[in-house]
Amino acid sequence: MKPILTVSEAPSLRLRFALLMAGLALALSLPLSGCTGSDIPTAQTPDINIEALTSQTFVEEAAGFEVLADGAEDEFDENDGDPLFDDADTEYARQHPGFESYSNLDKLGRCGVATACLGPETMPEPGEERESISEVKPTGWDQAFYDYVDQGALWNRSHLIAWSLSAENANERNLVTGTRWMNAETMLPYEEEVARYIDLTGNHVLYRATPIFEDSELVCRGILLEAESIEDGGQGVSFAVFCLNVQPGIAIDYDTGDSHEAHKSGDASEPSEPREYVLNTSSMRFHLPDCDSVEDIGPSNRAYVTESRDDLIEDGYEPCGSCQP
């Protein structure tokens, strides 16, 4: 078995693209030249140095953006969180509003890049209800339940392009095995940003979701999201973010989808040392003492403790998404 990526030190899950990957050779542009009529381009999977992305240094220290894998900062100064669409990509989107393209599954049954020019015509009709997607079993689907995971289940059937944006239901080319954390805490805010923009303006957004797999692993390490609003040249929406497929307190075997609580069942990581934290006993989150969110915690729900991070997670608390304790 390959080394398991353990996220007991949960990294920030809304990492700006500029700070993510060292030595990445990104080949994300759509091959649009020569496309005519209704020919929808097939997006290319980026050539990403996954070892740098999932290195122990990255996992442990990416949360603070303080220590990057070698060369990451220099490599991405020019992009700094901007999507990597080129002029041909955006021109195709202008000429084909509402197009959607989903890569065929590979020989292992894994999803590839999904690309769309999202707009009112791609979104669900008013009153349209989402259909069941339970019959789809994405690669690496090995469901497990933990008391401290939101709604209990570790794995979600994560849409590459959200149902709220595409009205795609049980499309196996659009569903990957994703943690509850990735699905609800990291992807959702960006999906909602795009949906709000389209609702308010009626404009279109060129959108690309790229699941990143290492070698023959069945569970992706994360999903790269890119978006750029078309009619206003990116003034309304423009982002490139990598959403890590992790869950605080859970060690994941990306080869198979197997999981277990961190620091148990063979996880060889060293336990964290006790330090001072501030608890929100209502939301069940813990913070660093200097976190801006601490002042928003009501006195009756605020508690100061000196405990290890691991013990707090085991007790059911989740780390604050802002200060990343």
Q: Domain map of the chain by residue range?
A: 5-261, 274-319
* The predicted structure's pLDDT at residue 1: 33
Assess whether pLDDT exceeds 50 at residue 265.
Answer: no
Superfamily for domain range 5-261: Extracellular Endonuclease, subunit A (3.40.570.10)
Q: Which residues are within 8 A (CB) of 179 and not within 5 positions of it... i.e. 6 or more apart?
A: 154, 155, 156, 245, 246, 247, 250, 252
The mean per-residue pLDDT over the stretch 287-310 comes to: 85
- Compute CA distances 85 → 56, 222, 234, 262, 263, whole Å: 30, 20, 11, 38, 41
The mean per-residue pLDDT over the stretch 128-154 comes to: 93
Residue, of 5 and 254, whose pLDDT is higher: 254
* The predicted structure's pLDDT at residue 272: 67
Residue, of 279 and 26, whose pLDDT is higher: 279
* The predicted structure's pLDDT at residue 219: 96
Q: Say which range, 5-9, 136-140, 224-228, 281-285, has the weakest mean pLDDT.
A: 5-9
Is the whole model's pTM more than 0.85, yes or no? no
Q: Say which range, 12-21, 46-55, 161-170, 280-289, has the weakest mean pLDDT.
A: 12-21
The mean per-residue pLDDT over the stretch 171-195 comes to: 95
Write the DSSP assignment of 247-309 as a string of letters. -TTEEE-TTT--EEETTSTT--PPPPPEEEEEEETTTTEEE-TT-GGGGGS-GGGEEEEEEEH
Q: How confident is the model at residue 17 (pLDDT cuts 50, 70, 90)?
A: very low
